[in-house]
Structure formats: structure tokens, C-alpha cells
A and B are shown apart, each in its own frame.
Chain A
Amino acid sequence: MLRRASKAQVCRQTQGLNLAIDTASLVLGIETTCDETAAAVIERGSDGRGRILSNIVHSQIEDHAPYGGVVPEIAARAHVDLLDGVIARAMRQADVGFVQLSGVAAAAGPGLIGGVIVGLTTAKAITLVHGTPLIAVNHLEAHALTPRLTHALPFPYCLFLASGGHTQIVAVLGVGDYVRLGTTVDDAMGEAFDKVAKMLGLPYPGGPQVERAAETGDPERFAFPRPMLGRPDANFSLSGLKTAVRNEASRLEPLERQDVCDLCAGFQAAVLETIIDRLDVGLTQFAERFGPPQALVAAGGVASNQAIRGALQTAADRAGTEFIIPPPKLCTDNGAMIAWAGAERLALGLTDPLETAPRARWLLDANVTTPAKFANTRAGF
């Protein structure tokens, strides 16, 4: 723990020095790790403040809706068809030419590899033409650094990231300095919402559908398990809860509309209680190891659920810290967060070679310390 703390301090000191000497930068960011084809241009001032010049997101929801979830090959096909057009729009809207860019950042993982390959290869190709630096950004790091763009939040702070692919509690100590306090041992939270929606016959994307159905449901009709409650670590498990919903639903067949609402309400209530409990543990661990956080920050599509926002606010209140949530467009996947993370790394002189490999899996903790040759192993998220 001591070693960690001192490393974080060194990193913060280094950044302090760089803040004083770095100059303004213009960075193009590319995001293709899941089902959004996105590009954005941001400006980072020499004072470390960011400004979004454009932020184009093309959602593929309609392409995946018939399948009740993201189909990797369909996503990859859409990314290659759409990406250069989305980048062109982002550059036009920002009124910036490629030659003016200080860097091109792409999400190099973790995510669906077919899409990551398209985004990273396109970014590399763009850097070739004008000799622009490439920044291979960890998608999770981009979520983690977003509150510095939106709220100029100083380090350290605690991130709760919950999306269709990720569920993590992360101590954000500095650029490239992250400690994962908790993660899911099975399904991601957004994935659990989508799967519950799918089994209950609700359309994709299921998260908002479950939230809506839960509004008119009785959360106490079913006694669903609260997985991991009271455990000393800050991990999540959602697979058992999902199975409990399925078992209850099978028992009720044929399902009435009210059954669906009650199942959704019961499921969501179990998730809320789990979130508060897991964040209690995570935020306590944070304070013990790194001192009080500047804030609890939410990121990922799941944070657009109002009931979950309420749970996050409760967790922050209990820990005596501020709760910050970036605007919805910057919570879900977008290019601005990639561009911003790229600008933060560029300011520290962190750029990447053209040989950089796309990664389906890429631990956030391993962002700086993992040698490239180990980066593509199946180490898990």
C-alpha cells in the first residue's frame, strides 16, 4: 500500500511539472470498441482544461436490435463502413485539418476485437500521412479521465464504471495510475440488464426498458438474492441474480404484463442494494489506501438509470464525498473521452508505436506496467 501511495504521488508530481510546461494540443479521438462508431476533436489548453470542438457518435443500436444484443461481426462490419465518414464529420464540425492535429488517439481495447482493429488501424493510417503522434488509449482509462474534461476534477477520485461490457470500482490516482478496487466476477451490469430484458421479451437495448417496467412493478414481490452482500472485497456478481429472475419467470409462465414489471422491479432493487453495499466497501478501501477521494464519479451507460443514480448518490453521501456524473453523451461511449485521454497522455509524452496491437482484453491497472508482449493474453478485464 505504501508503495502504491508513493507511486501515485510521484505521478502527480510529474503531472504538476508537465502542466507548467506543456502547450495547447488538438487531438482527434476514435472509439469503436463496441456498438458506437464515434469520433471527436478536443482541445486541451496549457492550463490542462479541455474543450470539445466536435463529438460525433453513430449508434448501431438498430443494427443489433433484432438480435437482442451486440453481434460482434455486425458491429465490425458497421464500423468499417461508417468510421471514415464519422471522422470526416468530426473534423469538419471542429473546423480542423488533419495537419493541425497534435495527436490521433484511438481506443486500442478492451472491447470487441473486430471493431478495435478498425478504429486503431484507421488512427494509425491517419498518423502516417502527416507524421502525427499516435496515442493508443485504454477505453476504460478514457471513461476514468472524463470528469477531468467535464469538471476539471483533480486526482484522486473513485470511479464507478458500469456498462454493457464493464463493471468496475476504480481508484483514479493519476494519468496511467489506476487501482481496480472491484470488478464483476461474471456478467457486466449492463449485460445483466440487457439479458433480463431479453428473457422477459422486452426490446433491445434492454436497460432503459427494465427501468421503465420497474417503475410500475412491486420490488418486494420476489425475494431475489443480493449477490456478494457483506463481502470484504468490492467485487460484483450478477449472473446468479439473472438466473434467479429466469427461474422465477419460468415458474410464472405464461407471464402477464404485471409479472414482467414486478420481475424488473425486483431485479433492479437487488442491483441497487448491491451497488450501495459494494461501493461502501470500495469507498472505505479507497479512503484507507489513498485518503479521501475528491469525488465518486459515475461512467457508462448504466449510469443513465435514474434509480441507479440515486443509489450512487446514497453511496457517495454515506462516504461523505461528492457525487459527479458527466452529461449522458459523455457517460456512454464517445470519441471525446478517447481524445481527452489521448491529450492527457500526450501532455506526459506518452505516445505509441505503429506496431501497437489491438487488445480484446486490457486490464486498466496494467495500463503502464504491462509489457506489450503480455498485453494480449486472456487475463480478463
Chain B
Amino acid sequence: MLILAIDTALDACAAGVLDTSSASVIAQQSLAMKRGHAEALVPLIAQVMAQSGVDYAALDRIAVTTGPGSFTGLRVGLSAARGIGLAADKPVVGLSTLAAYAAPLVSDNVGAPIIAAIDARHDHLYYQVIAGDGTTLLRPRVAPLDEVFDALEHGAPRLVGNAAALLAQRWPADAPPPLSVLDAPAPDIAWVGWLGAAVSPGSAPARPFYLRAPDAKPQSSPLRFAPQPPA
């Protein structure tokens, strides 16, 4: 299976072309960036596709990260992935950034639980707890950082994500320390591709995974109105 993988949900702009039959990454590029994904992504995809020598028609599917992460960033990736999927008539699958972070640790098969954590600002995290075998122990959520420590009942974990170092720093003294801390600004684009190959398109829709409602409240007029006579 030939896969185009795309990730712009966090602090990187990344694309890769992978071939599952040879278990190889044919071409990949990842640029560290906090903003500017909308300008950088499509030229980057063009470059990676050209390097790979793979034609859009030869792709089997497109895999893209859906969040949680930057709302704008994840929409850049999804727009590009779905645009290519539409024009090339290829299926597009979506993966969460948390799953993409955790994937290489699951693959290591050490067995300890994994906490994938992403900075959600204002002392909040997006996080998910995953068993060593890859099953979910705690579904993805957004919560105050300290709530993560409630998940320690599953034993000393391995930490991964762009908030892994932050989490380790705040680790309670009376808790079993984390077995490992893997802090990275974004998931490895190759793992976005491998996960994308593994999921079935029906169960992994390429839709945004915000974990947060839009910050807007319904408003009414501050003026007072005379009661309306019944019609």
C-alpha cells in the first residue's frame, strides 16, 4: 500500500510517502514551525511527492492528523488531505495526534501504560492513556494538568508528546516516576503513515478532532422590551 501522510496539527509541517509492502519511507520532510503551515504545506507535499516519484494516481490512501492540536493547523492538514483525496479520488483517513505520538511506544511492546500528552495551554493538557498493547485505558480528553495524575492507578507510565517534559517536571514526588519521557514537538510523520495504513477508512474519518467547543456564547440584547400582546 502506498500512503501519503500529512501532519500540521502541532509545531511541525510534515509530509511523507510510505510503502507498506517494503515497510519503507520513500520520501519525507518535516519542518519545525509554530505558524505558517498554510503557506508551507502544499509546496512541501509537492516536493515530497516529486522526491518519491510516486504519482497521485498510484496512491492507495492519504493519512492525516486530525488533532487535538492547533485548530488552524489541523484544518490546514485536513483541507489539503481532503482536497487531494477529492481530486485524485482516493480515500482519506484521519488519525489523532495522541495516537500518532503513542504508536512507536506501542510498537516497542514494553508493556507499560503510555500517557500521550499535548499542551492545551493555560495549564491544561490534551491527553490519552493507552495500555502497552495499544488498547485505550482513558479516552482522549482535555483537562487541567494535575488531573493526569489521577491516571496513575495503571502503574508507572511512559510519557510521550509535546507536554511529556512538562508533565515529568510536575510529577508528584509520592508517585512512581515515569519509565521514560519522550518529548517531541510533533509526532513522527512516518508513524502517521503506518497508523494510516493500519486503520480502516470507515472507522477513521478525516474529520477535525478538536476536543474543545468553539469559544462563543449566545448573546441577547441588553435592552428591555415590553411584553408582546398574544397574537
Is A128 a contact of B46 with CB atoms below 8 Å? yes
Interface residues on A, range: 35 or more
Is A358 a contact of B38 with CB atoms below 8 Å? yes
Report A115-157 CB contacts with B as 1/0, cut-off 8 Å: 0011111111110111000000000000000000000000000
Expressed in whole angstroms, the Cα–Cα distance for A122 and B82 within the complex equals 7
B52 to chain A minimum Cβ distance, whole angstroms, is: 13
Expressed in whole angstroms, the Cα–Cα distance for A123 and B42 within the complex equals 10
A249-B223, A255-B224 known; A73+B83 contact, CB < 8 A: no
Q: Which of A41-49, A79-87, A280-288, A317-325 contacts B (4 or more CB under 8 A)?
A: A79-87
Residue of A nearest to B212 (CB): A73
In the bound complex, residues from chain A placing their C-beta under 8 Å from that of B78 are: 80
Taking a contact as CB atoms closer than 8 A, the residue among B40, B56, B217 that contacts A129 in the complex is B56
A76-B71, A77-B214, A128-B42 known; A117+B76 contact, CB < 8 A: yes
In the bound complex, residues from chain B placing their C-beta under 8 Å from that of A122 are: 79-80, 82-83
A71 CB–B CB distance under 8 Å: yes
In the bound complex, residues from chain B placing their C-beta under 8 Å from that of A355 are: 39-40, 43
Is A124 a contact of B80 with CB atoms below 8 Å? yes
Is A71 a contact of B80 with CB atoms below 8 Å? no
B158 CB–A CB distance under 8 Å: no
In the bound complex, residues from chain A placing their C-beta under 8 Å from that of B46 are: 128, 354
In the bound complex, residues from chain B placing their C-beta under 8 Å from that of A68 are: 218-220
A66 CB–B CB distance under 8 Å: yes
Is B38 a contact of A254 with CB atoms below 8 Å? no
B199 to chain A minimum Cβ distance, whole angstroms, is: 19
Is B75 a contact of A114 with CB atoms below 8 Å? yes
B225 to chain A minimum Cβ distance, whole angstroms, is: 5
Is B43 a contact of A121 with CB atoms below 8 Å? no
In the bound complex, residues from chain A placing their C-beta under 8 Å from that of B80 are: 121-122, 124-125
Expressed in whole angstroms, the Cα–Cα distance for A255 and B38 within the complex equals 48
- Interface residues in B73-132 by Cβ distance below 8 A to A read 75-76, 78-88
B162 to chain A minimum Cβ distance, whole angstroms, is: 22
Is A124 a contact of B71 with CB atoms below 8 Å? no
Is A80 a contact of B79 with CB atoms below 8 Å? yes
Is B86 a contact of A84 with CB atoms below 8 Å? yes
In the bound complex, residues from chain A placing their C-beta under 8 Å from that of B223 are: 199-201, 249-250, 253, 255
Chain A facing B: main interface SS: helix
Residue of A nearest to B216 (CB): A71
- Interface residues in B10-40 by Cβ distance below 8 A to A read 38-40
Expressed in whole angstroms, the Cα–Cα distance for A188 and B41 within the complex equals 34
B49 CB–A CB distance under 8 Å: yes
Residue of B nearest to A256 (CB): B226
Residue of A nearest to B221 (CB): A201
Taking a contact as CB atoms closer than 8 A, the residue among B75, B83, B219, B225 that contacts A124 in the complex is B83
A98 CB–B CB distance under 8 Å: yes
A42 to chain B minimum Cβ distance, whole angstroms, is: 18
B72 CB–A CB distance under 8 Å: yes
Is B225 a contact of A118 with CB atoms below 8 Å? no
Is A121 a contact of B218 with CB atoms below 8 Å? no
- Interface residues in A160-195 by Cβ distance below 8 A to B read none
A338 to chain B minimum Cβ distance, whole angstroms, is: 15
In the bound complex, residues from chain A placing their C-beta under 8 Å from that of B178 are: none
B175 to chain A minimum Cβ distance, whole angstroms, is: 37
A378 CB–B CB distance under 8 Å: no
Expressed in whole angstroms, the Cα–Cα distance for A356 and B42 within the complex equals 10
A33 to chain B minimum Cβ distance, whole angstroms, is: 14
A128-B46, A354-B43 known; A253+B224 contact, CB < 8 A: yes
A350 CB–B CB distance under 8 Å: no
In the bound complex, residues from chain A placing their C-beta under 8 Å from that of B207 are: 81
* 10 nearest A-B pairs in the assembled complex, by CB-CB distance: A125-B83, A121-B79, A129-B87, A73-B214, A122-B83, A124-B42, A126-B87, A71-B216, A254-B226, A66-B218
- Interchain Cβ contacts under 8 Å between A and B, 13 examples: A68-B218, A80-B79, A84-B82, A87-B86, A98-B87, A117-B79, A118-B75, A118-B79, A121-B38, A123-B83, A125-B42, A125-B83, A256-B226
Q: Which residues of A contact B (CB under 8 A)?
A: 66-68, 71, 73-74, 76-77, 80-81, 83-84, 87-88, 98, 113-114, 117-126, 128-130, 198-201, 249-250, 253-257, 353-358
Other than the known A71-B216, A253-B224, what 15 A-B pairs have Cβ atoms closer than 8 Å? A67-B216, A77-B208, A77-B210, A113-B72, A117-B38, A117-B72, A118-B75, A125-B81, A126-B84, A128-B87, A129-B84, A199-B221, A201-B220, A201-B223, A257-B228
Q: Which residues of B contact A (CB under 8 A)?
A: 38-43, 45-46, 49, 56, 71-72, 75-76, 78-88, 207-208, 210, 214-226, 228
